[in-house]
Structure 1
Amino acid sequence: MSIPAVIPARGGSKGIPRKNLKPLGGKPLIVWTIEQVLAAPELTPYVSTEDEEIAGVARDAGAEIIERPDDLAQDTTATEPVVEHAVDVITRRVGRPESVMLLQATSPIRLPGTLSRAVTEFTSGAVDSMVGVVPEPIFLWQRSPEVRALYPFESRPRRQDVTPEQERFRETGSLYLTRTEIYETQHNRLGGRIGLFVMDPAESLDIDTLEDFERAEQWIVNRS
């Protein structure tokens, strides 16, 4: 049984109206993620939406559709109940999946092979959940409740001398892969033994503003 890749896509978007359907590189934003899933033989794309137009575009792109109830399509709705609803629907259709991938439609940049690599690392790593991350510089500070360095500034390491214990990573929001039982017992996308899936820094772009769209367009132009 293939792993379902759930792509939540509400019709409402306050920052950029109809964001999931806004053209990027000649096709609707959500289609980028659907096509990336279709290129990974281990995965099947499922778009969870309450919006008929998004459903139509997603279906035409090759995704299965999960009709999301309106009460799970509010501004305040958390993602986990949406995934759990999708898993319930998928279970009724084809059987209970052992794991589920969660993909953010507003993260359209994923390099070829990224999703298959995530599945391979997940299945071979003896983890219960996995989160997509990108490397971050270790030279971080916090301001409250007091100014404090989060690295040993008294003996500032050179970048090439940073040890594995000192490495830091940032969660991208782009990709999660989780055993179904974690959703069932902890109602969270992360739980149990958690693994880090290190992605290319370019894959961390999360489209939230028009400027983000412009950066994504430029990346696509540069890659073509």
Structure 2
Amino acid sequence: MSVIPAVIPARGGSKGVPRKNLRPLGGKPLIAWTIEQVLATDGLHPYVSTEDDEIADVATRFGASVIRRPPDLATDTSASEPVIEHAIDVITGGTGRPDNVMFLQATSPVRLPGTLQRAVAEFTATGVDSMVGVVPAEIFLWQRDPQVQALYPFQARPRRQDMTPEQLRYRETGSLYLTRTEIYQHEHNRLGGRIGLFVMDTSEGMDIDTHDDFERAEYLFRNSSPTG
């Protein structure tokens, strides 16, 4: 099996939590957790895409290859897809492309041991074109506008243990995407073609975007071993 590049975008100019990719969490920089999870997985290699010298140094120290991101792909409004496409071009030297690419966000540091290996195996076994990491989601949702309305049949409220597969819902975590590179080439999107859901443990649904998120993550890492 050829090695799948696992691209980890890490911009230096994050606004919600300044320098969050380097902020210590559980005794190491936030980004280090994702790098180490990739290195612990057969058939993957970590690439950190960044415009920031300090992030590049930390990424190298923890075992990742660094892709220097051009400034126009490192703005507050930069989308992720062009960053992944740039990384693919750099990795291949502009000639050819890997069959698949994994996109991981450093702001989702909780991935249990074996999760990435299981994702690769499931992607291969199912033959999907793209796969998105999800966690089970709350189904008892309401909307307020334009009028109050339940988004589930409250007259016959189902018990969780009695729910059929058709009643279950899942939330996209942003933690993990695995995609055939031709999808990026033709659709310029991380998802396309036949899409598969990769169901992760609820604990893996963490996304650090605010100071409150970081405080919750610090509490979790102090009081448990969320990555094994």
The TM-score by the shorter chain falls in which range? Answer: over 0.9
TM-score by length of 1: 0.96
The DSSP-based 3-state class of the residue aligned with 1:175 is strand
| Aligned partners of 2:51 and 2:69 also within 8 Å | yes
Unaligned runs of 5+ in 2: none
Structure-1 residue corresponding to 2:217: 216
| Cα separation, partners in 2 of 1:208 and 1:151, compared to 1, 3 Å | same
Structure-1 residue corresponding to 2:71: 70
Q: What amino acid does structure 1 have at the position aligned with 2:123?
A: F
Structure-2 residue corresponding to 1:136: 137
The DSSP-based 3-state class of the residue aligned with 2:174 is strand
| Cα separation, partners in 2 of 1:35 and 1:93, compared to 1, 3 Å | farther
Structure-2 residue corresponding to 1:42: 43
Counterparts of 1:55 and 1:191, CA distance in 2:
31
Higher mean alpha-carbon deviation, 48-57 vs 89-98, is at: 89-98
Pairwise CA distance, 1:144: 3.1
Pairwise CA distance, 1:95: 5.2
Counterparts of 2:161 and 2:208, CA distance in 1:
32
Counterparts of 1:35 and 1:94, CA distance in 2:
28
Counterparts of 2:98 and 2:34, CA distance in 1:
20
TM-score by length of 2: 0.94
Q: What amino acid does structure 1 have at the position aligned with 2:172?
A: E
The DSSP-based 3-state class of the residue aligned with 2:93 is helix
| Aligned partners of 1:45 and 1:64 also within 8 Å | yes
CA RMSD between the two structures: 1.4
Counterparts of 1:172 and 1:151, CA distance in 2:
22
Q: What amino acid does structure 2 have at the position aligned with 1:157?
A: P
Pairwise CA distance, 1:15: 1.5
Show CA shifts across 1:53-109 (max 9, x none): 100100110001111000000000000000000011111189521010000011111
Pairwise CA distance, 1:137: 2.1
Query: Following superposition of structure 1 onto structure 2, how do residues 45-60 of structure 1 map, counting pairs within 5 Å?
Result: 45-60=46-61
| Aligned partners of 2:89 and 2:95 also within 8 Å | no
Counterparts of 2:92 and 2:153, CA distance in 1:
49
| Aligned partners of 1:109 and 1:216 also within 8 Å | no
- Asked if 1:13 corresponds to 2:14, the answer is yes
| Cα separation, partners in 2 of 1:123 and 1:88, compared to 1, 3 Å | same
The DSSP-based 3-state class of the residue aligned with 1:173 is strand
The DSSP-based 3-state class of the residue aligned with 1:171 is strand
Counterparts of 1:125 and 1:17, CA distance in 2:
39
Pairwise CA distance, 1:35: 0.3
Q: What amino acid does structure 1 have at the position aligned with 2:155?
A: E
Pairwise CA distance, 1:142: 2.3
| Aligned partners of 1:127 and 1:193 also within 8 Å | yes
Counterparts of 1:92 and 1:144, CA distance in 2:
51
Identity level (%): 74
Counterparts of 2:214 and 2:141, CA distance in 1:
28
Counterparts of 1:94 and 1:105, CA distance in 2:
28
Counterparts of 1:10 and 1:41, CA distance in 2:
27
| Aligned partners of 1:129 and 1:189 also within 8 Å | yes
Q: Where has structure 1 moved over 4 Å in runs of 4 or more?
A: none
Show CA shifts across 1:150-179 (max 9, x none): 222222111111110010011111111111
Pairwise CA distance, 1:143: 2.6
Counterparts of 2:165 and 2:145, CA distance in 1:
27
Q: What amino acid does structure 1 have at the position aligned with 2:171?
A: R
Pairwise CA distance, 1:216: 1.6
Q: What amino acid does structure 2 have at the position aligned with 1:112?
A: P
Structure-2 residue corresponding to 1:126: 127
